[in-house]
Structures are given as structure tokens and as C-alpha cells.
Amino acid sequence: LQFEVTILGSNGAIPAFNRHPTSQVVSYNGSNYLIDCGEGTQLQMSKYSVKRGKLDHIFISHLHGDHYFGLIGLLTSFNLNYRTTDLHLYGPHGLDEIMNVHFKYAETKLKYAIVYHELKADEPRIIYENRYFSVETIILKHRLPTTGFLFKEKQPLRRIITEKIAEYKIPQTRIFEIKHGEDFVTEQGITIANTELTREPNLPRSYAYCSDTIYLEEIVPQLKGVDLLYHESTFIDEHADRAAETFHSTARQAATIAKKADVQKLLLGHFSARYEDLSIILDESRRVFANSHLAIEGETFPVDIKKI
Amino acid sequence: LQFEVTILGSNGAIPAFNRHPTSQVVSYNGSNYLIDCGEGTQLQMSKYSVKRGKLDHIFISHLHGDHYFGLIGLLTSFNLNYRTTDLHLYGPHGLDEIMNVHFKYAETKLKYAIVYHELKADEPRIIYENRYFSVETIILKHRLPTTGFLFKEKQPLRRIITEKIAEYKIPQTRIFEIKHGEDFVTEQGITIANTELTREPNLPRSYAYCSDTIYLEEIVPQLKGVDLLYHESTFIDEHADRAAETFHSTARQAATIAKKADVQKLLLGHFSARYEDLSIILDESRRVFANSHLAIEGETFPVDIKKI
């Protein structure tokens, strides 16, 4: 199943060098899940062909503008485009009040419902779940209440060996049970062991989003072994004082979290406007954690299938 | 003196074809005056090198999002960039409440003051004035209270003939009075008539901004003879019903206003997302008013000096 992350913006608080503020889309099996929604997100979605009709869930990490000033525009455009499907909005206390004051003065009558889920930044909670994966909050430490988001695939089913279906005349109606590990009894009454019919399932995959936060070792256990980690790296280590002061992280700190949590791959983002050339951020991170990458807007990062 | 208009965005309510929502900058003698501030305006300002340090006045026509959703981002960036100069914000009732709810949840402490001027859409009023020009509201008719803005130069001074300064040894301290029409008495006691020292002054110039509005002949007297008129032309005449329904204008209607008001030049904007090719809008307008132009983002339109 498709599981990938497309970066729509990854700049820090002040837009610079034509880099957009934070927003990204997790695409899973044809559906889109938006994380943060900085100014210009709806334009970035058009630019990078993100389908809005497939977007029913938006997650906002915190109420600094570079993470949500594009939300009101997106919600308004949904309405102008005659959306009728419910939209689930996950965000901190106050987000609904802010949206509603905009709607009030524009005399907007929404044609769709916004289902608001208020997030608490006290302890990790599962805030969304479907048959394939769940989303849980990661409690970050920033100047405002802030949560990250962990997309965690459920245990995938065993993978049926296609040729066996014909060989043993397995009817379509039995496939689901076999994928769940059951044996199959042929028309002749012979029991075929599940291990002959299926291969081991893929390992469940996971994606963790951590922005914005000061260096925070407490999140390491929750991040243990994730396949793809986005961790903010607003500064380089030379500016570690400034990072601490503003409750942000350096590239070296992001890489240290990635290393301690033993993740597969690290994406760096939320770049300060003081850096035009981002290679200093990448280089610093790679010295600690080799599989580091810059979350450049417009790029898509697959969460790769792990096979046993 | 420099007097020109730079278009930052001129699309209608739904962003389309990479066209940005409404915003434009009037530049006068090195200072900038922002009219409307759709989403992405601060990024457009950077793209088109509009100096923020020279911007102390922002005018918002009405509270539909495509005219102001970029404002909170711009105000926030001013703060992050350590602005300390007062910012004058002119807009409809509610605009300050909307900005303040954002600031509240972000726990923003502004380092500069926002001086809020609430606009009433009942009758034209002078809302700003300096030594060179005034700005007055134009009462438009839209679904929400909406004002346009008329930038009206004051009568320029007489233009001194440079060579005469040396010829009659005119001291620097007398120039201002001579520009105001006074004669000059030489050291020898000879009176030199002002007409020998100066040329006729330039005619005062004017720029009118009208968006959003239904076709409204009542504004024609106020627009009489303006040098540059921006008038919304959301639709073409084929969709005149839709225009009336949504309180917008067609290109033919915009051109009719320009013709009746006998303006010099017409700029068309606020294009509906239904039109990818805008030449149909331009062509329709030019059939009524020849000197019509599309307000394409990134373009600058001078308000030309008229000489007698």
C-alpha cells in the first residue's frame, strides 16, 4: 500500500528564499492527510497536484502562524468549491475560535461540517484510527503547547502466494481468512498448511513528525525504530544558544534523536531564514546520522516496505 | 514624483493557474501603500522586491478572505523582523478582532503598534492625507461592506526653471515660495515675475481601486477623469447573471464605468478561476474602452505625469 510524505513547505517562521512555511501531506492508499498548513499551502497543493477531494483530515501541531496561517484559506476554498464531506480538524485549543471569527465576519455558511478534535499536549494519545493505521500525538516542548504526530501502520496481513490460489482452487471468499493465517481444506478434504499458501507479512511501517521542539530525549522511546522521522532542525549547532532560547533544535540535535531512536531515515526541516544554503544543515546532521535528507518542498519521500 | 501601482495578485476568490489572490502596492515617492492582502502577499512582496521598511499603511477593502488572509502573516513577520514603527491599518469593522484572536493564541507581544482605522461603507471619506496626496474611500456594493480607495494627488507646485536660479542668484531658502507662485526680488531690487521663473505645475494625478463590486454607476462622478482605474472584472458578459448574483462585475461593465468616468487607463482584475486564458476578458473590455490592460501579477503600472 502507498505510504509517502510530500513536503509542501519546510521553512521556519519567516518565509525566505522563496521557501514556504511548514506543511506536508501524508498519502496512504490514495487518501491524503495534511500536517500543518502554513500560508500558501493551498497554492502549494495545486502546484504539486495534491488532490483535495481525498483530504478529510488535517492535523495542526501548534498555533504559531507558520504552521497554520494557510488553514483559513484552504477551509474557505473547500467551501467555494462546494465541498460537502466532513472535514476532521485536529489542533490545539483555540483553533476553532480563530477559524470561527473569520467565518463570522465573512458571513460564511459552510456547506460541509468541520469536526473539531481538540488536542491536549500532556501525554501521547491515539487521535485517529482506520483499518490500516493509527495516528498518535507526540508531546513536544516548544513555546506553545505543541504535538507531533506518529503515523503507525497496523500489523499487515500475511501475503498470499498467487499461484497457490489456482493450484488449490481457493475461492475468493476464503482469501481474507487465509491472509489472517488460517489453513485451507481442499475439495478433496486435504488440509493445506497456511505456511504453504502465504509468505510472512510485511513489517508495519511508521512515520513520525516532530516540529517544533527543543531537543527532547523524552520522545526517543516513542520514536524507536520508526522508518521515517521528520524532525525540525531550525538551526546549526553554531547557533545552539539561539535554538535553546527559542525552543528549537539544531541539525546535530535532530540527528542525535534519530540515532538514539534508531530510525531508518531522517528528514530535516523548519529551516531558519538565516540560512540560504541548506547544505550546512545537511552536512552537520550526516556527521551524526548518515541517512539524513533535507525536506525540500515538492519532494516526496516514500515510507519503504520492510520485508522480513 | 514616483507614483505607480505594482500588482501582487489579481485572481478572484479561488486561487487558480498559479494566480494569487488580490493585493497591490501603490508606491509614491519611495513609500509603499498596500491595498488588500490576499494569502501569500508577503511571499509576493519578496518575489517582486517590495520594500517592507517603506510600508506604514495597509488598506483592506472588505473581509472576504481573498482580500485579507495574507494580512496576519505579514503583521507577524513584521514582528519577527523587529519592526518598531507604527503600522496604520484601514479596514472594516471586525478586522482588529480577527487579528487579535490570532495574536492571543500565539501569545504574540507586538514590538510595534498597529493603529487601527475602522472604515465605514456609508459615504466617501478622506481616511489618510500627507503633503502630496490624500486617500478617500469609494463606496462599493458587494455582499459585505466594501470600500474602494482613491489616491488623489494634491495640486503640485509650479516647476522652477533651473537655469533661472543661477541667473538671478536665487538662494535655496526662497525656492519653496517661488514654487508656490511668489515673485523674486534680486539683490539689485529688481522684481522678477514668477512666470519668468517657473513653468505651469503638473496636473494632479489620481489612482482609483474598485474591488469587489457589482456594476455601480453611482461611483462614476467620483472617478471622473482619474488617470488610472483598477476595476474588478471577475466575469465576462456571457456570465453576467452570475456576476449580478455574486455582486461582481463583467469586463464590459468595468469598461463601461471607465468610459463613463472618462478615465485615462483601465486595469482589469479579480479574475474568476473559470478563465485560464484571460484574453477574453481583455478583448471584451477593449471593445468598450480601448486603453484597457490586464492587471497581471508582477507588473507595475505608472500613473503618468500629465503636463499642461
Tell me how far apart the alpha carbons of residues B205 and B207 are, in angstroms, rounded to a whole number. Answer: 7
Q: Which residue has the cell 493445506?
A: A192
Residue B290: its pLDDT value, please?
A: 98
Residue B305: its pLDDT value, please?
A: 81
- Chains A, B: CB contacts within 8 A come to 100
Range 5-44 of B in CB contact (< 8 A) with A: 13-16, 18, 20, 39-40, 42-43
Residues of A in contact with B81 (CB under 8 A): 14
- Is residue A99 within 8 A of residue A106, CB to CB? The reply is no
DSSP annotation string for A48-100: TT--GGGEEEEE---SSGGGTTTHHHHHHHHHHTT--S-EEEEEETTHHHHHH
Nearest to B252 by CA among B221, B225, B227, B231: B231
The alpha carbon dihedral of B268, B270, B273, B274 has a sign of: negative
The answer, for B64 touching chain A at a CB cutoff of 8 Å, is yes
Name residues of chain A where pLDDT drops below 50: none
Q: Nearest chain A Cα to B94, which residue?
A: A105
Residue B216: its pLDDT value, please?
A: 98
Phi-psi label, residue B160: left if phi above 0, alpha if psi -120 to 50, beta otherwise: beta
Residues of A in contact with B71 (CB under 8 A): none
- State the average pLDDT over residues B167-173: 93
The answer, for B46 touching chain A at a CB cutoff of 8 Å, is yes
Cell of A70: 494557510
Q: Which of A18, A97, A107 sits opposite B144 (nearest CB)?
A: A107
Question: Catalytic: which of B66, B96, B212, B262?
Answer: B66
Residue A1: its pLDDT value, please?
A: 87
Contact B65 A104 (CB under 8 A): no
Nearest to A40 by CA among A81, A82, A71, A76: A71
Q: Name beta bridge partners: B301.
A: B5
Residues of A in contact with B297 (CB under 8 A): none
What are the tens digits of pLDDT across the range B206-263? 999 999 999 999 999 999 999 999 999 999 999 999 999 999 999 999 999 999 999 9
- Is residue B9 within 8 A of residue B41, CB to CB? The reply is yes
Mean pLDDT for chain B? 96
For residue B307, is pLDDT > 80?
no
For residue B165, is pLDDT > 90?
yes
- State the average pLDDT over residues B108-120: 97
How far are the Cα atoms of A162, A163, A180 from residue A166, in angstroms, in the given order? 8, 6, 19
What are the tens digits of pLDDT across the range B122-152? 999 999 999 999 999 999 999 999 999 999 9
Residues of B in contact with A20 (CB under 8 A): 43
The pLDDT confidence band at residue B306, using thresholds 50, 70 and 90, is: confident
Q: Which of A46, A76, A105 sits opposite B94 (nearest CB)?
A: A105
The answer, for B110 touching chain A at a CB cutoff of 8 Å, is no
The answer, for A49 touching chain B at a CB cutoff of 8 Å, is no
- Is residue A133 within 8 A of residue A105, CB to CB? The reply is no
For residue B7, is pLDDT > 80?
yes
For residue B80, is pLDDT > 80?
yes
State the smallest CA–CA distance between residue B75 and chain A in angstroms. 10
Residue B171: its pLDDT value, please?
A: 94
CB atoms within 10 A of CB B241: 9
- State the average pLDDT over residues B295-300: 98
Residues of A in contact with B104 (CB under 8 A): 94
Tell me how far apart the alpha carbons of residues A84 and B64 are, in angstroms, rounded to a whole number. Answer: 21
- State the average pLDDT over residues B101-105: 98
CB atoms within 10 A of CB A151: 26
Q: Nearest chain A Cα to B78, which residue?
A: A14
For residue B293, is pLDDT > 80?
yes
State the smallest CA–CA distance between residue A291 and chain B in angstroms. 32
- State the average pLDDT over residues B38-47: 96
The answer, for A290 touching chain B at a CB cutoff of 8 Å, is no
Residue A307: its pLDDT value, please?
A: 64
State the smallest CA–CA distance between residue A14 and chain B in angstroms. 6
Contact A43 B39 (CB under 8 A): yes
The answer, for A241 touching chain B at a CB cutoff of 8 Å, is no
Sheet strand arrangement including A87-92: A114-119, A87-92, A55-59, A31-37, A23-28, A3-9, A300-302
Residues of A in contact with B40 (CB under 8 A): 39-40, 43
Q: Nearest chain A Cα to B44, which residue?
A: A18
Q: Which of A13, A40, A143 sits opposite B80 (nearest CB)?
A: A13
Q: What number of H helices and E strands is found in chain A?
A: 10, 18
